[in-house]
């Protein structure tokens, strides 16, 4: 089957287990009398028996099935079918010629409790069959888009899409938006390749459903990733062609379970919108791993009983008032929540899979503005504001990021519901701009591995590889997502090119040239033509070049022959004979943090690196493991000349190693405060041992300061020595800041929260920073006097402290007259304020 086309997993494996469900000693009467019901064990796992006590069907709305059609005469289906369409041949009925659509229909709405065959989740339903796939299960995006639009335009409220493709489509994206605008819920399978979520499940407003095995663990073939919402059982027993029944599996069988559950819920709450039904299903899912959303299982396993019993809430993420309560959400999905007035704060955690950009778009009251504070995985703090319909981007590094949301109008007392759409864009690779052959990025002439991205529309990457000596060349192009179908072009300058595209979506391409000659070779890495959209994923190009190389630094076998190195500049070399030694020297003119790295070490060679001072006294040494291709020495170096000696456990001449000495001048022991506006304050308090930095010789002045860090600094600054025992649920006595917090608590500088937590890693706001310092100085604030800042009123809890601290010249605001009390305080701001107070 062509994997560039829409397709489904048609494999079947199932073990039937009869069951009964007892609660409080009573057997539920809602269990149907259908003879094959005992084989439908997946219904027990999503708690249908309890759910049927509340609702057993919905004939008030149409559920459209976009698939291979349905066996229209199936005795257990025909009573729940309404008129559909065959888009492949409109003159014919939407009759199933594959079986997949009939499987899906039985899960949703096989007639229940009719003493025949199986039962659907909906005993009574209105299912609209739309045939958009061929007999082999294939189709295209154009037909899929037409099918969705037909369903929307002909009264369907829910559309089931147990199909998928790897490529993003602007056309299909517009169709999905059209369905959302018409208040139609789309439910789609994530796919069955053990890879990334397929489209249309991957679009922000489509409810994406993965599959779990009988152990409630994600099935190894179930696609996972950034866009998954919930999971449902992978294995089912359902209706089949020729009036029969069969075992089936896949996310294609999981998605209709969620669609049917949505129909039951919508029947109970017809006043809700599609986005609210989507959120309600997330809200009531069972966590299967880490609490909250995760990219393996989304929000968890479908629980139909909870869906029908638990009321819909406007904000399922509460409580998330603090950073330590932040709820994890996807970086590429649409969610619904609410800010309950100007004092409410919503914290979210987002895990960026790569470096890149997270875009946030808000749908909310046009009269309101939301302030967004973003804390990058590296600790950098950025603040922006957004209004209805506005998209704001934040640069992110791979790892956990946080966003804090709060209304700009702090005095507003009403609730402000909002929809937040997150969209992730991958980083621009370091080889850009190389989209044309004449812009080809020139690579070093050696064996190497490079990573790149397709970060923009029609992105292709050209590389030039200069061959200096005859040898052999092998290229291996791999990708980390099936959303890429990599294509490799190879061309020797002036000769005809060769295109390598033997694999399919997500598969590796290889090409070997047994004999290469001196000259330039060009490589072009691209996606197949129809996959020209930006893609969240990386490709890896492995270049293996075998040639007799020459060490450009020889002779350097003695210390007096050492090659002089410029700082922050790479040097290549070889250890190509037994007993070969390579000496290098470098000079440091001022105290600096130095990193000496050796990389591109060929496997299984181990290089032994020794560092000497100017008198050739040994200072340190390092050696890489046999299958590691790099090693490093680092530390604080004073001015002077230093030597590096390299030896190897075996000679090699097929690949050049790379040696580099990186230097960052130190200011007061830090690499990142020189010329910073708070540098003098940082140096002053560092000299007094009130503050310190991190192990990598950074201070990170623009990083948000936490409650634990701020408390520790104040405890040292004011020489607090008395302490009282404190007991917070999130602060063990082994915590590094426990003693500082105990002393600050004794001095009434800081205390915990009503829920008996301290939240040591919670960022401190500018107002909290001011209050902590004021209490340290025994200042209680004053009631009289003019308000010092435009964004503070008399009712604000810290108004008195701000008046006193401003009057005494201890604090200042921004040029626009604001103080921004709820904005996170940075380490630099805290240190500057404290330094001025102490002086």
For 176, the 3-state DSSP assignment is: helix
Residues 309, 286: Cα–Cα separation, whole Å: 14
Average pLDDT on 408-427 reads: 95
Q: b vs e for 140-161, b when ≥16 Cβ sit within 10 Å of the residue's Cβ?
A: ebebbbbbbebbbeeebbbbbb
Cβ atoms 264, 121 nearer than 8 A: yes
What does the pLDDT look like over 365-417, one tens digit per residue?
999 999 999 999 988 899 999 999 999 999 999 999 999 999 999 889 999 99
What does the pLDDT look like over 585-600, one tens digit per residue?
999 999 999 999 999 9
Residues 621, 644: Cα–Cα separation, whole Å: 9
Strand partners, 543: 448, 475
Question: Beta strand 592-599 with 630-637: parallel, antiparallel or unpaired?
Answer: antiparallel
Q: What is the pLDDT confidence band of residue 623, given thresholds at 50, 70 and 90?
A: very high
For CATH 2.60.120.380, list the domain ranges present in the chain.
Answer: 323-407, 437-547, 559-665
Residue-level pLDDT at 9: 37
Q: Which two three-digit tokens encode residue 671?
A: 């690499």
Nearest Cα neighbor of 66 from 125, 12, 140, 124 is: 140
Average pLDDT on 451-474 reads: 94
Give, rounded to a whole angstrom, the gap between the first and last alpha carbons of the chain. 76
Q: Which two three-digit tokens encode residue 553?
A: 């630094």
The CATH number of 559-665 is 2.60.120.380
Residue linked to tokens 């601290």:
805
CATH 2.60.120.380 fits 323-407, yes or no: yes
Residue 271 is among the residues annotated as catalytic for this protein = no
Q: Which helix (H) or strand (E) holds 648?
A: strand 640-648
Residue-level pLDDT at 226: 95
Residue-level pLDDT at 440: 97
pLDDT-wise least confident of 7-16, 257-266, 356-365, 415-424: 7-16
Residue linked to tokens 């050739």:
616
Nearest Cα neighbor of 605 from 561, 636, 638, 649 is: 649
The yes-or-no verdict on residue 258 having pLDDT over 60 is yes
The yes-or-no verdict on residue 23 having pLDDT over 70 is no
Q: What is the pLDDT confidence band of residue 328, given thresholds at 50, 70 and 90?
A: very high
Average pLDDT on 333-357 reads: 96
Residue-level pLDDT at 27: 40
For 642, the 3-state DSSP assignment is: strand
The yes-or-no verdict on residue 194 having pLDDT over 60 is yes
Residues 465, 492: Cα–Cα separation, whole Å: 9
Catalytic residue among 34, 67, 461, 672: 67
What does the pLDDT look like over 266-303, one tens digit per residue?
999 999 999 999 999 999 999 998 888 999 999 999 99
Residue-level pLDDT at 10: 35
Q: b vs e for 446-465, b when ≥16 Cβ sit within 10 Å of the residue's Cβ?
A: bbbebebbbbeeebbbbbbb
Residue-level pLDDT at 468: 85
pLDDT-wise least confident of 24-38, 269-283, 540-554: 24-38
| Residues 323, 329, 335, 338, Cα dihedral to 10° | -10
Q: What is the pLDDT confidence band of residue 25, given thresholds at 50, 70 and 90?
A: very low
The yes-or-no verdict on residue 580 having pLDDT over 60 is yes
Query: What is the third-level CATH fold of 22-309?
Result: Rossmann fold (3.40.50)
Tally of residues, the chain: 839
Average pLDDT on 613-621 reads: 96
Average pLDDT on 654-667 reads: 94
The yes-or-no verdict on residue 16 having pLDDT over 90 is no
The yes-or-no verdict on residue 7 having pLDDT over 60 is no
CB neighbours of 482 closer than 8 A, spacing ≥ 6?
A: 166, 193, 195, 196, 505, 506
What does the pLDDT look like over 106-117, one tens digit per residue?
999 999 999 999
Nearest Cα neighbor of 420 from 332, 345, 361, 366 is: 361
Residues 194, 199: Cα–Cα separation, whole Å: 15
Cβ atoms 267, 58 nearer than 8 A: yes
Residue 287 is among the residues annotated as catalytic for this protein = no
Neighbours of 255 (CB within 10 A): 30
Residue-level pLDDT at 156: 98
Residue linked to tokens 């039937």:
16
Catalytic residue among 100, 219, 374, 455: 100
The yes-or-no verdict on residue 444 having pLDDT over 50 is yes
| ω into 563 cis (within 30 of 0) | no
Nearest Cα neighbor of 429 from 525, 303, 563 is: 525
What does the pLDDT look like over 489-518, one tens digit per residue?
999 999 999 999 999 999 999 999 999 999
Cβ atoms 598, 565 nearer than 8 A: no
Kindly list the strands in the beta sheet with 509-516, ordered across the sheet, starting from the edge strand earlier in the chain: 448-452, 539-547, 471-479, 509-516
For 291, the 3-state DSSP assignment is: coil
Q: What is the pLDDT confidence band of residue 24, given thresholds at 50, 70 and 90?
A: very low
Average pLDDT on 77-99 reads: 97
Largest CA distance in the chain: 95
For CATH 3.40.50.200, list the domain ranges present in the chain.
Answer: 22-309
3-state helix, strand, coil in the chain (%, to 5): 20, 35, 50
For 482, the 3-state DSSP assignment is: coil
Question: Beta strand 441-442 with 391-396: parallel, antiparallel or unpaired?
Answer: unpaired
Question: Beta strand 156-161 with 57-67: parallel, antiparallel or unpaired?
Answer: parallel
Q: Which helix (H) or strand (E) holds 423?
A: strand 415-426
Q: Which two three-digit tokens encode residue 519?
A: 């000259």
Average pLDDT on 549-569 reads: 94
Q: Which two three-digit tokens encode residue 325?
A: 């309560």
Residue 154 is among the residues annotated as catalytic for this protein = no
Mean pLDDT, the chain, rounded, equals: 92
Q: b vs e for 483-507, b when ≥16 Cβ sit within 10 Å of the residue's Cβ?
A: bbbbbbbbbbeeeeeeeeeebebbb
Rg (alpha carbons) of the chain, rounded to whole number: 32
Residue-level pLDDT at 662: 97
Average pLDDT on 61-84 reads: 97
Average pLDDT on 457-476 reads: 94
Residues 217, 224: Cα–Cα separation, whole Å: 12
The yes-or-no verdict on residue 728 having pLDDT over 90 is yes
Residues 651, 74: Cα–Cα separation, whole Å: 74
The yes-or-no verdict on residue 130 having pLDDT over 80 is yes
State pTM to two decimals.
Answer: 0.84
Q: What is the pLDDT confidence band of residue 28, given thresholds at 50, 70 and 90?
A: very low
Catalytic residue among 49, 55, 162, 252: 252
Strand partners, 383: 373
Percent of the chain with pLDDT over 90: 85
Ramachandran category for residue 91: left, alpha or beta (phi over 0 → left; psi -120 to 50 → alpha): alpha
The CATH number of 437-547 is 2.60.120.380
């Amino acid at each position: 089957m062509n994997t560039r086309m829409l397709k489904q997993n048609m494999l079947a494996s199932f073990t039937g287990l009869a069951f009964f469900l007892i609660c409080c000693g009573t057997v539920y009467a809602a269990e149907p009398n259908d003879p094959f019901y005992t084989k439908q064990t997946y219904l027990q796992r999503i708690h249908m028996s309890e759910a049927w006590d509340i609702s057993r069907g919905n004939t008030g709305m149409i559920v459209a099935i976009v698939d291979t059609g349905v066996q229209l005469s199936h005795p257990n289906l025909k009573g729940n079918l309404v008129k559909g369409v065959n888009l492949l041949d409109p003159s014919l009925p939407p009759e199933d010629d594959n079986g997949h659509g009939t499987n899906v229909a039985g899960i949703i709405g096989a007639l229940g409790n009719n003493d025949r065959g199986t039962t659907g989740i909906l005993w009574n339903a209105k299912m609209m069959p739309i045939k958009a796939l061929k007999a082999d299960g294939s189709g295209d995006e154009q037909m899929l888009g037409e099918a969705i639009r037909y369903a929307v335009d002909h009264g369907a409220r829910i559309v089931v899409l147990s199909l998928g493709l790897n490529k993003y489509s602007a056309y299909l994206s517009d169709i999905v938006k059209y369905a959302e605008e018409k208040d139609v819920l789309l439910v789609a399978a994530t796919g069955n390749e053990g890879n990334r979520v397929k489209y249309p499940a991957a679009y922000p407003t489509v409810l994406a459903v993965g599959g779990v095995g009988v152990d409630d663990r994600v099935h190894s073939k179930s696609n996972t990733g950034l866009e998954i919402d919930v999971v449902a059982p992978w294995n089912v027993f359902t209706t089949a062609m020729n009036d029969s029944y069969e075992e089936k599996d896949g996310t294609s069988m999981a998605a209709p379970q969620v669609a049917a559950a949505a129909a039951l819920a919508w029947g109970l709450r017809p006043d809700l919108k599609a986005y609210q039904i989507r959120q309600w299903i997330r809200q009531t899912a069972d966590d299967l791993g880490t609490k909250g959303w995760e990219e393996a299982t989304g929000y968890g396993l479908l629980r139909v009983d909870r869906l029908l019993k638990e009321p819909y809430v406007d904000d399922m993420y509460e409580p998330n008032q603090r950073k330590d309560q932040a709820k994890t959400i996807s970086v590429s999905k649409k969610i619904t929540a609410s800010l309950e007035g100007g004092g409410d704060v919503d914290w979210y955690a987002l895990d960026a899979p790569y470096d890149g950009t997270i875009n946030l778009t808000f749908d909310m009251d046009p009269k309101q503005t939301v302030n967004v504070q973003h804390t990058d995985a590296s600790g950098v703090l950025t603040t922006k504001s957004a209004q209805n319909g506005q998209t704001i981007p934040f640069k992110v590094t791979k790892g956990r990021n946080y966003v804090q949301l709060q209304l700009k109008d702090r005095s507003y007392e009403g609730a402000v519901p909002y929809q937040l759409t997150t969209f992730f864009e991958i980083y621009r690779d370091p080889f850009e701009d190389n989209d044309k052959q004449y812009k080809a990025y020139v690579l070093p002439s050696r064996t190497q591995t490079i990573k790149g991205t397709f970060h923009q529309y029609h992105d292709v990457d050209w590389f030039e590889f200069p061959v200096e000596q005859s040898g052999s060349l092998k290229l291996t192009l791999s990708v980390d997502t099936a959303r890429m179908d990599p294509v490799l072009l190879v061309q020797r300058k002036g000769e005809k090119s060769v295109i390598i595209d033997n694999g399919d979506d997500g598969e590796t391409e290889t090409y070997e040239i047994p004999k290469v000659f001196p000259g330039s070779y060009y490589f072009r890495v691209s996606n197949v033509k129809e996959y020209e959209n930006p893609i969240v994923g990386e490709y890896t190009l492995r270049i293996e070049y075998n040639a007799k190389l020459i060490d450009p630094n020889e002779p350097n076998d003695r210390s007096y022959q050492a090659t002089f190195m410029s700082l922050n500049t790479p040097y290549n070399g070889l250890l190509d004979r037994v007993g070969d030694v390579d000496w290098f020297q470098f000079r440091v003119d001022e105290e600096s943090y130095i990193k000496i790295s050796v990389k591109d070490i060929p496997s299984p060679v181990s290089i032994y690196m020794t560092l000497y001072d100017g008198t050739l006294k040994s200072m340190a040494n390092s050696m890489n493991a046999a299958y590691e291709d790099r090693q490093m020495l680092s530390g604080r170096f004073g001015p002077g000349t230093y030597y590096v000696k390299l030896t190897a456990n075996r000679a090699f001449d097929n690949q050049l190693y790379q040696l580099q000495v990186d230097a960052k001048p130190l200011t007061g022991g830090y690499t990142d405060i020189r010329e910073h506006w708070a540098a003098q304050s940082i140096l002053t308090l560092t000299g007094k041992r009130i503050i310190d930095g991190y192990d990598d010789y950074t201070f990170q002045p623009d990083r948000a300061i936490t409650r634990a860090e701020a408390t520790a600094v104040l405890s040292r600054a004011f020489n607090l020595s008395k302490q009282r025992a404190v007991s917070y649920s999130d602060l063990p006595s082994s915590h590094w800041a426990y003693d500082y917090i105990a002393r600050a608590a004794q001095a009434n500088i800081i205390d915990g929260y009503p829920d008996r937590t301290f939240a040591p890693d919670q960022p401190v706001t500018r107002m909290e920073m001011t209050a902590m310092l004021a209490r340290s100085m025994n200042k209680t604030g004053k009631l009289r006097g003019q308000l010092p800042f435009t964004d503070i009123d008399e009712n604000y809890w810290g108004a008195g402290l701000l008046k006193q601290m401003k009057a005494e010249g201890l604090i200042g605001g921004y040029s626009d007259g604001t103080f921004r009390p709820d904005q996170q305080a940075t380490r630099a701001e805290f240190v500057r304020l404290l330094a001025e107070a102490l002086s």
